[in-house]
Chain A
């Protein structure tokens, strides 16, 4: 009996393990081919990323800077708003208000990113940034992408931080009130620190999502690699470069095709680190209070 029903189920479970193996194999195979053509020092020590042209240059840092640019500016916007929403939902909101606000916030998480990409280009840049900051703002800029990325990660930060804050034991709040703390002081100086591992986990997950997001940055941030963290510059991220190659139908064996996988490996490694970090902090949080 146990063989008959267990073998197919085990095979199902094996699919997810195979997927991971396949991702790593596929990425590494072409990445190794890439490093036969381009040396490690060119990849990690050069700063210019110009895969096309007479003297191609494959310094990854321009693409990493592009990704870092949108990560920094989207976090600057999403973290304060996300944490404030989490504090409101967990500490202040009437249960009825909470039962309306939370699903609406989560509806934002269901919006396809190509829709955010459309808004970043056609609404944020042309309708908000240029009228406010002047027409010097380039049509493709990191700030427009960062604003929509911030909207995209807002539910991640708010929802996970709120879960962490709700599971902070009531005793801690009561003790603080007993000592004369106000509601704000309890929220900011007791609940927030007590929920810190959950808050950090939510931010790390949000970073992983921004690093991996493609459509918003490909549409709104441009496709010119640029070693800058200035939000009003035209840039290219790692994912933006990958999509550009995907659109161009590069043939197997060409350096463009191999560069796609080399950048993909870099992207995979970075998101993996942030995801592992988030899992670790969530685990730590559960240990503390559950």
Chain B
């Protein structure tokens, strides 16, 4: 005689607990989709408002008090100048610091202090870096609100995160590569220069790209050094005053006229395309070298 299969069903409180647990999945999923949703809404609102203003003229015109004639020319050039100088200054010092910490530093209290100091600097608000740049580079060195002051300030600001990324990249190079080079008679310095650095290069490049994408969106620190100015010429040298795309966005955002808000939205599209391209580039480099 065949018996019917016994189905065990939770009852009473156990059933309630299971039902609540099953439902919770969707609550947690909803919460994590909220971030995605916000990103999509913001993208939609910006494109709807700003896409109409995007044109070649918008990219190549100087700022203007007539919103329909105003463009991003001087702020794009200023951003490129400041970013280029920031990379040139920050990269060697950041990589040098990371090599020192990982390969040469004596394992003592000084090293622990240097590391603690770096992690604290990473948490210092950008406006404090702006105050530092204003007082030291702008006033004490007499550089004023110039491209050089901006680049020096942003170099110091991105230094901690670039050092930490470079440290991680250097640590990823397997010790066997160092041991092999040293066993074949290479000096410590040759080992680092010919074997560790090339191995760490993709990680270091990823780190600097991400740091630059943060610096490219920085506003407060540059306003503090005095870069909230009207620029209607092409920058040709680091001692000139400048403006950047985020500063231009701020300028257009705080104006009462609706037409300037459209300009701000269009400039946000330009800035976000640049920032996401940099992030994408970093992700591609990371993926490409992870496989090989």
Q: Is the CB of B131 within 8 A of A260?
A: yes
Report if B206 contacts A (CB, 8 A).
no
Report if B242 contacts A (CB, 8 A).
no
Binary interface encoding of chain B residues 28-64 relative to chain A, with 1 for a CB under 8 A from any of its CBs, else 0:
1111111110110010010000000000000000000
Given A13-B100, A182-B21, A219-B250: A85 and B35 interface contact (C-beta under 8 Å): yes
Given A9-B96, A16-B163, A112-B275: A211 and B28 interface contact (C-beta under 8 Å): no
Report if A255 contacts B (CB, 8 A).
no
For window 100-143 of chain B, which residues contact chain A by CB distance below 8 Å? 100-101, 104-105, 114, 116-121, 123-128, 130-132, 134-136, 139
Give min CB distance, B139 to chain A, whole Å: 6
On chain A, the residues within 8 Å of B131 by CB distance are 26-27, 242, 260-261, 264
Which residue from chain A places its CB closest to the CB of B49 in the assembled complex?
Answer: A122
Given A80-B31, A81-B34, A123-B42: A264 and B121 interface contact (C-beta under 8 Å): no
Chain A interface residue count, Cβ-Cβ cutoff 8 angstroms: 88
Q: Is the CB of B32 within 8 A of A22?
A: no
A211 to B125, CA, bound (A): 8
Stretch at the interface among A37-45, A46-54, A243-251: A243-251
Report if A84 contacts B (CB, 8 A).
yes
Q: Is the CB of A105 within 8 A of B32?
A: yes
Main secondary structure of the interface of A (DSSP, over half): helix
Q: Is the CB of A214 within 8 A of B268?
A: no
Given A5-B189, A26-B132: A101 and B36 interface contact (C-beta under 8 Å): yes
Report if B246 contacts A (CB, 8 A).
yes
On chain B, the residues within 8 Å of A119 by CB distance are 42, 45
Q: Is the CB of B163 within 8 A of A9?
A: no
Q: Is the CB of A108 within 8 A of B32?
A: no
A88 to B228, CA, bound (A): 43
Q: Is the CB of A12 within 8 A of B35?
A: no
Can you list 15 A-B pairs with a CB-CB distance of less than 8 A? A12-B93, A15-B156, A23-B124, A92-B25, A107-B39, A112-B218, A115-B249, A122-B264, A123-B45, A151-B38, A184-B24, A214-B220, A215-B220, A246-B130, A271-B125
Besides A26-B132, A101-B33, A184-B17, 12 other A-B contacts (C-beta < 8 A): A5-B188, A9-B104, A13-B97, A23-B128, A85-B31, A111-B217, A151-B35, A180-B14, A208-B125, A242-B224, A246-B134, A272-B123
